[in-house]
Structure formats: structure tokens, C-alpha cells
Amino acid sequence: MSFDLDVEMQRGEMRVALKLLSPGGITVLFGPSGVGKTSILAMVAGLLTPDRGQIRVCGRTLFDGVTNLPPEARRAGYVFQDGRLFPHMRVEANLRYGMAREAQSGDWTALIDLLGIEDLLRRWPRSLSGGEAKRVAIGRALLSGADFLLLDEPLASLDAARAEEIMDLVETIRDERSTPMLYVTHDRAEAERLATKIVEMRRE
């Protein structure tokens, strides 16, 4: 279960380039704002197209210049900084949106227990704290049947206590579910705690 990336892209004045082979676990892209960390996630997700290179995840070719799978075919679970929950849907409907057809009731129950959100299911997104909303966003990504997760600064805007809860959750997913993750942060302590592999990105 690996990330095998060798990509390059020019975005205005910024050149984004990364080459890595990671065995799985949590691969952390670490570095200051503006070096292209989020752009790398978007390329893996199929939201941006590299100028050149290849993207292989979990043994599947997602992009190589000939192959360029659309986002919905990449089996990626994307957790954005702001969660992006649907405001007109309660938490349960948000979780079930895009839920994989093969998911079983046991999968649902186990994940709700893992996330600790059973008491949130009837609530509206606007009533959730930042940490609660992040848990729901992670749950929605997992229920989509994703082979891997892309997490873009998931601790952004959280206080220390809520950030600790989300790091505990990410560690549990890493250790108990063996879900490979590509994780973006600019915080070194966060990277060192969570990472199986750290890739430090710098401005050229």
C-alpha cells in the first residue's frame, strides 16, 4: 500500500515538483505555506493535472500522461481544511452521501463507534464544533470506500484540545485500519508525531 509520485507542475510563478516512494502509513508533506503541498494533494485526487510525471497509489496508476483517471475513479477520500460538509444535510445524511454501495451495516456501526459521533447524527453542520465537524468529514471520506485518504491541514483552526482529539483519531485509523494517508501540515511537531515518512518541501 504505497504512494509512488513523480510529478511536476508550473502554476504561475510557483513550480511544484515532488518525487517520493512511500510504503504506506502516513506520509506527511511538511513545509511552509506556498510550497505546493495542497497542489500535490489536488494532483493525487485528480483535481489538478501535472505537466509531467506519474502518480501510482496502492499499485494503481492514476496518472502517467497516457492514463488520467477522473477524480471519482481514483478511490481517494479527501478531507479539506474546512471540512466542506453540506449545510442543508444533517450529519447522518452527510455521512451517507457517496457511501460505497458495498458498505455493510457493520461497517457503519464500527465507524460511528470509532469516530465517537453517534450523538451527532441528527445535528446540523452549523451546530458542530470544529473538532466534531472534522470527525464527520473524516468519516464521510472513509465511508466512500476510499483506498487512501488525503488530509489537508486537518488541524487548522482547532484549539489544542480538539487538535489532540483529531490526532488521536488519525493515529487510530493509521494503526487499526491500515488506511494509507497523504497528510499536509506546516507544523513540525505534528509531522513528527504522526508520520511514517516525512517529506520536507522547500521553496526553490
pLDDT in tens, 7-35: 999 877 678 888 888 777 899 999 888 88
- In this prediction, residue 105 carries a pLDDT of 57
- In this prediction, residue 190 carries a pLDDT of 94
Predicted TM-score (pTM) above 0.75: yes
pLDDT in tens, 50-67: 999 999 998 899 999 899
CA dihedral 37, 198, 59, 149 (to 10 degrees): -60
- In this prediction, residue 60 carries a pLDDT of 92
- In this prediction, residue 203 carries a pLDDT of 74
Q: Are strands 3-11 and 52-57 parallel, antiparallel or unpaired?
A: antiparallel
pLDDT in tens, 81-93: 887 899 999 999 9
All domains of the chain in start order, with CATH = 3-200 (3.40.50.300)
Q: Which residues of 54-78 are buried (b: 16+ CB within 10 A; e: fewer)?
A: bbbbeeeebbeeeeeeeeeebbbbb
- In this prediction, residue 88 carries a pLDDT of 95
Q: Which residues is 17 bridged to in the sheet?
A: 8
- In this prediction, residue 39 carries a pLDDT of 92
User: Which run of H or of E encompasses 132?
Assistant: helix 130-143
Q: Which residues in the chain come in under a pLDDT of 50?
A: none
User: Which run of H or of E encompasses 21?
Assistant: strand 14-22
CA 184/CA 41 separation, integer angstroms: 8
- In this prediction, residue 106 carries a pLDDT of 63
